[in-house]
Amino acid sequence: MEEEKIHVDVEDFSEEQFMESFMRDIQSEEGVLIIGILVALALVILTIVFFGNFWGSSKARNAVLLLGLCDSGKTLLFTRLLLGKFVRTQTSITENSSTYKSKNERGSSWTLIDVPGHESLRVQIVEKYKAVAQAIVFVVDSSVFQKDVRDVAEFLYSILTDNIVAKNAPTLVVACNKQDISMAKSAKLIQQQLEKELNTLRVTRSAALSSQDGAVGGSVYLGKKGKDFEFTQLPNRVEFIECSALGSKGEDGDADIHNLENCLAKI
């Protein structure tokens, strides 16, 4: 019993001692502890602020890029899709981006980005947005297509063989614009010519990829080896449609972009 008493006493004593010593510790290291807590809080706040600033757009791919050569009508198409009205346009030197509400039942909205077509700008801006692209609308000027077929094909090739784009496989819609001009080529013709041109480009650009490591540009081979290139061989969903951003009645009338809108609604 004495031992128990002593034991109990000792226990009580030790607890109190522990508490006291703890309080003493806090009071002596008060400065350091409080500073530590403050620093931790500050770091947390900083991280929240950083994330708040730069986490604005969600990580999901929700952008549609309007790409194409200079003067193919991308900026006008951009305005027509968003508001339906006509504006005069000049060569773009920066990109235009805005949210677009698509006309399907779900009413989903995504970002529509109009990328300048000028050769010195397009590479940098495509670099910025290619990872978030859910779909690519490639605008082609149908009236001067015969002359520009090689430039169009080269741009299309460089996009399709890009590593990130090839991996994500966004939907590709080739919009053959300027159908209001009488000399405009049809979508079918443009598709055939592009297939032929891309076939040749495959050969010149990536003939001996197996023997050479670190090749220029993307190391992606379009389509199937041994067979002529066709758009159906690509993993992406490809559609060719005709449209006219200007519209048959010019500035006052509506644009003939119903096909395009239907296409975009499916995304």
Partner 1 sequence: MLDFFAIFSKGGIVLWCFQGAGVTESFTGPVNALLRSVILQERSGNNSFTHNSLSLKYKLDNEFELVFVVGFQKILTLTYVDKFIDDVQLHFRDRYKNELEQRGALKFLLNNFEFGDDFHTLMREAEVSSKAKAPVSMRNFNESEKSKKTVKSMIETKDGDKTKEQGGKKSKNAKKEGEKSESGGDQAKAASKKAVENGNESLTQEEIIERNRAKFISKQLGGGKAEKPSKSPKPQKPKGKANRVWDMGGKSIGELDYSGTNGNNSSDAQNQDPDATAEPLIQVDSMKGDLRGVDYESSDDEDEVVQEEERVVVANTKKGAKKGGFGGMFGMLKGLVGSKNLTQEDMEPVLDKMRDHLIAKNVAAEIASQLCVSVAKKLEGKVMGTFTTVASTVKQALQDSLVQILQPKRRVDILRDVLEARSQRKPFVITFCGVNGVGKSTNLAKISYWLIENGFTVLIAACDTFRAGAVEQLRTHQRRLNSLHPPEKHGGQPAVQLFEKGYGKDAAGIAMEAIAFARNQCFDVVLIDTAGRMQDNAPLMTALAKLIAVNTPDLVLFVGEALVGNEAVDQLVKFNQALADHSKTDKPRLIDGIVLTKFDTIDDKVGAAISMTYITGQPIVFVGTGQTYSDLRSLNARAVVSALMKA
- Residues in contact with partner 1 by the rule CB under 8 A: 50, 53-55, 57, 59, 61, 75, 78-79, 82-83, 85, 87-99, 114, 116, 118-121, 123-124, 128-129, 131-132, 150-151, 154, 163-164, 167-168, 200-201, 204-209, 211-212, 214-217
In angstroms, what is the minimal distance from the CB of 140 to partner 1?
A: 15
**What SS3 class is residue 265?**
helix
Least CB distance to partner 1 at residue 19 (A): 42
Rounded Cα distance, 158 and 197, in Å: 13
Specify whether the CB–CB gap between 193 and 148 falls below 8 A: no
In total, the chain counts a number of residues equal to 267
Residue number with CB closer to partner 1 (27 or 94): 94
Cβ neighbours around 96 below 10 Å, total: 16
- In this structure, what are the phi and psi dihedrals at residue 138, rounded to the nearest 5 degrees? -100, 110
Residue 22 or residue 51: which is nearer to partner 1 going by CB? 51
- Residue 204 Cβ vs partner 1, minimum distance, rounded to whole Å: 4
Taking the least distance from each CB to partner 1, the nearer of 24 and 101 is: 101
By C-beta, is 40 or 209 nearer to partner 1? 209
Count Cα atoms within 13 angstroms, Cβ side, for 79. Answer: 14
Nearer to partner 1, 217 or 253 (CB): 217
Query: In whole angstroms, how close is the CB of 262 to partner 1 at the nearest point?
Result: 23
CB of 42 vs partner 1, minimal distance in Å: 12
Instruction: Give residues with Cβ within 8 angstroms of 151, minimum separation 6.
Output: 69
CA distance 119 to 91: 12
